[in-house]
A and B are shown apart, each in its own frame.
Chain A
Amino acid sequence: MSTTERVRDAVSDLCEQIFALAAPLRAQAEAELAVEGPTREALGFETSCRRLLTESGLPLAGAGLVAAPGVLADVDYWLEWWQPVPGGPLGRCRRLPVQINPAASDFRDYTQLAWYARPLATGRRAITGPYVDYLCTDQYTLTFTEPVIVDGQFCGVTGVDILARVVERHLADAIGETDEALLVVNEQGRVVTSSGIDWVTGDLVRGVDLTDAATSRARSGRAQRWQVERCPDLPFAVLARA
């Protein structure tokens, strides 16, 4: 198996592992929101999120439910999102405080953000990032979300956050040490992780068409050809110098 294929499989395995960890949250949300006029108090995510954040074996940065406006009876916008307390004792989590009053000057409409908007638009799970998550982690993050559907109605998303640096470390073994540029990029060509010295996490490889081997430009301005290895059913690909 080539290095490229090994990295591709490692990316797929990691993504499936994360979605599998998050799956119970969706089932829980669909059950808890199925009652008549659900309220915030009816949501029991603290226990399930704490377990997920502290016992899953993968350091996750956040987990929970983001409700669609109007789904809860007592409040319009709501993030039932739990995070590990940084530097706190192991197993301590807290619910993320978020401005939910649309009239407030620091209100940010989460329904416009990709991790919410994409599952809403497609009805399918989505991976967003790496991106600067100013709402939840304040760090360079990837967010894995799934739509919550009750009686055929979209009721929000459940999912987890994982920091880009955790993904970098997780894929480091598969990528190995090589001076050759080997890049894991998302659909936009954003570098998730890499080897070599020319490209690092967050850089943008322009002109990469993820459906095909394509030409992109190196920073020096020289045209550079990449060999593209897509991760099946995921918005990622592995690029190697062609």
Chain B
Amino acid sequence: MTDLSLGLGSYAAVFAPLEAEGRAETVTRRLTDAIVLGVLPDGLPLPPEAELAERMGVATTTVREALGMLRQDDLIRTRRGRGGGSFVRAPRDGGGAALLSRLRDLGLGELRDLGDHYAAVSGACAALAAERADSLDLQRVRSLAAAVAHAEGASLWLQAEGSFHLEVAVAAHSARLTRAEIALQAEVGPVLWLSHAYDGDPVLAGTRHTSVVSAIEAGDPTAAREAVEEHARDLVRALVPLHREAQRRSR
């Protein structure tokens, strides 16, 4: 008989304790990312507490706790009375401090792992796009690659970067991989933002995208996959010195 007391692979995962961190922290982190990355722009009214709780599937008290933390971090403002509610407040430093502390909490191994996951999904998308893209797909991918090169500032660059990789997934004609890419972008977003804002970005500027586009155009799946994977590895590599610096400062 199998000894079920041992932590064995996926069986153990089924019964692993739920939520290593509190739900309020999870809600706070998700909203923090959204505010810093500009998904929730400055001045936007947040839905009422009860609606947020229902949509995120948590208790109203959890939402209240999370909003308290966001208020402390000066990422929302709350007004009472008629026309009141919580309003998004874009961070004055552009969000660097909030994202840096997130980066510090992430181990370097986890950062590398996130890069691996991103490389696997985006690389597979690029390889399939090289096989499947038609002339309309190519046109979209090409114009979005050009938009990345011209984007000014970390937030617009992130928008352009995300749109480019999304369109490569679309050119792969895989709905599942496109959904995986969208889900990953939410996680990779902060990393990309930081690498752009602090690294000033020589590795990221348009050259990688050009080689991805030419490989897709040439119908060369191997080259397309390699170009994207290298791009993902460069991103992680660019963040290692920043990670070490953030940890050194917090000691």
Q: A-B contact count, CB below 8 Å?
A: 65
Of the stretches B114-122, B132-140, B228-236, the one at the interface is B132-140
Return the CB mask of B166-201 against A: 1 if under 8 Å, else 0: 100110011100110010000001000000000000
Contacts of B37 in A (CB 8 A): 105-106
Q: How large is the interface on B (under 10, 10 to 19, 20 to 34, 35 or more residues)?
A: 20 to 34
What residues on B are CB-neighbors of A173 within 8 Å?
Answer: none
Is B179 a contact of A138 with CB atoms below 8 Å? yes
Nearest-CB residue, chain B, relative to A130: B173
Closest to A139 in B: B175
Q: Does B162 contact A (CB under 8 A)?
A: yes
A133 CB, min distance to chain B CBs, angstroms: 8
Residues 104-144 of chain A: 1 if any B CB is under 8 Å from the residue's CB, otherwise 0? 11111000101000000000000000111010001110000
Query: Which residues of A lie under 8 Å from residue B41 when comparing CB positions?
Result: 101, 103-104
- B170 CB, min distance to chain A CBs, angstroms: 5
Nearest chain-B residue to A138 (Cβ)?
Answer: B179
Identify which of A105, A107, A140, A189 contacts B173 (C-beta below 8 A): A140
Does B28 reach chain A (CB closer than 8 Å)? Answer: no
Most chain A Cβ neighbours within 10 Å, of B134, B135, B166, B182: B134
Interface centre among A106, A108, A134, A203 (most CB of B within 10 A): A106
Complex contact B134–A138 (CB within 8 A): no
- For residue A204, which residues in chain B have a CB less than 8 angstroms away from its CB? 131-134, 173
Say which residue of B38, B40, B135 sits within 8 Å of A188 (CB atoms): B135
Task: Please count how many residues in chain A sit with their CB below 8 Å of the partner chain's CB atoms.
Answer: 23
Within 8 A of B (CB), among A8-39: none
A106-B159 in contact (CB<8A): yes
**Does any Cβ of A come within 8 Å of B76's Cβ?**
no
Q: Which 5 residue pairs spanning A and B have beta carbons closest together?
A: A188-B134, A202-B173, A105-B38, A132-B178, A105-B37
User: Can you list 28 residue pairs at the A/B interface with Cβ under 8 Å?
Assistant: A99-B39, A101-B44, A103-B38, A103-B155, A104-B39, A104-B159, A105-B38, A105-B155, A105-B159, A106-B37, A106-B162, A107-B159, A108-B163, A108-B166, A112-B140, A112-B143, A130-B173, A132-B174, A132-B175, A134-B169, A134-B179, A139-B175, A140-B173, A188-B134, A189-B134, A190-B173, A202-B173, A202-B174
Binding site for A on B (CB under 8 A): 37-41, 44, 131-136, 140, 143, 155, 158-159, 162-163, 166, 169-170, 173-175, 178-179, 182, 189
